[in-house]
A and B are shown apart, each in its own frame.
Chain A
Amino acid sequence: MLRSCTAALRTLRALRGRREGASPAARDPVLARRWFSTEKVIPKDHALPNPSWSKDLRLLFDQFMKKCEDGSWERLPSYKNSKLVKEQLSQAQLFTRGYEDGLGFEYVIFYNDDEKRTVCLFQGGPYLQGVPGFLHGGAIATMIDAAVGMCAAIPGGIVMTANLNINFKRPIPLCSVVVINSQLDKIEGRKLFLSCTVRSADEKILYSEATGLFIKLDPEKSLI
């Protein structure tokens, strides 16, 4: 699974650069125009609360936004339309952003550079059903791939999923909020080894555990 993350890296650098001074506003029109030089339209950032977000999700979001204030954590913005983007964004976000609010994947990813880990707050909607009342294993796999992939892409650059091994412990109820904690375990040459857990919002229930192997790609070489 290829991750082109040049825009994600730019996000990180831009956000860090503003640590010293200006407002931490996620939607900075000036910044947006610098990225998307072709258009004056400001693309919608989907990694922000909308009416479909449950109370649990908003609470967790606020908690993590607080953690962003001292710069140790960064919220990663998430755009849907690839036509507005000059460079390729982490493409996983296009797939996972193709639904109306609340029906599919509602999520936001926060990144901690020092600890090399990400936290993804995820609320899966009624269009992601498997066994009635629960999230489809494939939808969970998709979200884990996206969250762990982002954790790999930020330090690793352009990466591709080589292996994803998921253990499902308990089924996740539809429309509930889960927290996906991913971390980079080690790097061996071009191989990045990561692991993650999926827990309930209050951390009391462990829903799944996963390990992933991502490979750094050579940007000079073509995809196929």
Chain B
Amino acid sequence: MIRRGLRAAARLGHHGALPGGPYILPRFSLASAFGSSMDSLVSRFCQEKTDLKNYALPNASWCPDMLNLYHEFLEKTKADGWIRLPSFKSNRNHIQGLKFPLVLTVSSDKSDCHIFTRCIKTEGQGYEYVIFFHPSKKKSVCLFQPGPYLEGPRGFAHGGSLAAMIDETFSKTAYLAGDGLFTLNLNTRFKNLIRMGSLAVLNVGVEKVEDQKLYISCVAQSTDQQTVYAKASGTFLQLQLEEDSSQY
């Protein structure tokens, strides 16, 4: 059953362009089609009607570059097929109606868990970011502004924080584009340091899907594209989530 689902996911990965016109999110439906279509994953992920706090919204700490690009992409969500991804406290909040396979449940799953990139709550201090995803192109753009908690060399972001942001963007893209769940490989080549409080734009794209693995790459650069901060590639294991019948 899982194998069929994975093959279905792989086929969907090669699916051509979605119907033209404004991209409207399908209504969330429990009786979703066999296997998780990208539409279903996206709608469960985004949870249009929710009280959960969405961390991927502008706040006072966002620099002008970040605000400008954010609004540019927000415009593109109206007609060009881009989707602004919300960002909740835990990955559990992004899989409404689904659950992780039994083999993955661990006893140490506490309620005060936070996703790594959203654990520093004070605005502007840690990871400030928002991801825009394009389903048919299987691409993402992440606007990332590192704060003082992420400091490495004085005045610049720690390399590990960029690797983490790349992994997180990879992870969301791989999941929505093709049920990618676990990072198998992350290869990061650092070129230049990111000044704290400035914007880094991460351009991510799925390269191919093969043998239950999803291959993905990223170029992180400055707003004006003059400086490349890092290039990275990743491999993700495809693992389809199960329907959570216990909720209904």
Contact = CB atoms under 8 A, between A and B. Distances in A.
A127 interface: yes
A163 B153 contact: no
A137 interface: yes
A175 B114 contact: no
Contact of A94 (B90, B91, B151, B165): B151
A167 B236 CA distance: 11
Interface stretch (A8-16, A18-26, A60-68, A141-149): A141-149
B25 interface: no
Contact of B104 (A133, A141, A160, A166): A133
Given A126-B113, A167-B185, A176 B108 contact: yes
B190 A163 contact: yes
B149 A131 contact: no
A166 B154 contact: no
Contact of A145 (B112, B160, B182): B160
A98 B120 contact: yes
A139 B108 contact: no
Contacts of A104: 119
Interface string B94-137: 00000010001110111011111101100000000000000000
User: At the interface, is chain B mostly helix, strand, loop or mixed?
Assistant: mixed
B108 A166 contact: no
A134 interface: yes
Nearest to B119: A127
A72 interface: no
Interface string A118-145: 0000000011111111111111011101
Contacts of A146: 160
Given A132-B91, A139-B164, A174-B106, A165 B151 contact: no
B153 A95 contact: no
Contacts of A131: 91, 100, 104, 181-182
B113 A129 contact: yes
* Residue from the set A137, A138, A223 with the largest chain B CB neighbour count within 10 Å: A138
A126 B113 CA distance: 5
Interface in A1-44: 1-2, 4
B158 A92 contact: yes
* Residue from the set B120, B165, B183 with the largest chain A CB neighbour count within 10 Å: B183
B192 interface: yes
A129 B159 contact: no
Given A129-B91, A131-B181, A91 B116 contact: no
A221 B76 CA distance: 43
B193 interface: yes
Contact of B158 (A132, A142, A163): A142
A71 interface: no
Contacts of B108: 133, 173-176
Contacts of B81: none
Given A133-B104, A134-B106, A166-B186, A95 B193 contact: no
Interface string A75-105: 0000000100000100110111011000110
A141 B160 contact: yes
CB-based closest 3 A-B pairs: A138-B164, A1-B159, A142-B160
Interface of B: 90-92, 100, 104-106, 108-110, 112-117, 119-120, 149-154, 156, 158-161, 163-168, 171, 181-190, 192-193
5 contacts: A127-B114, A133-B106, A141-B167, A142-B161, A168-B186
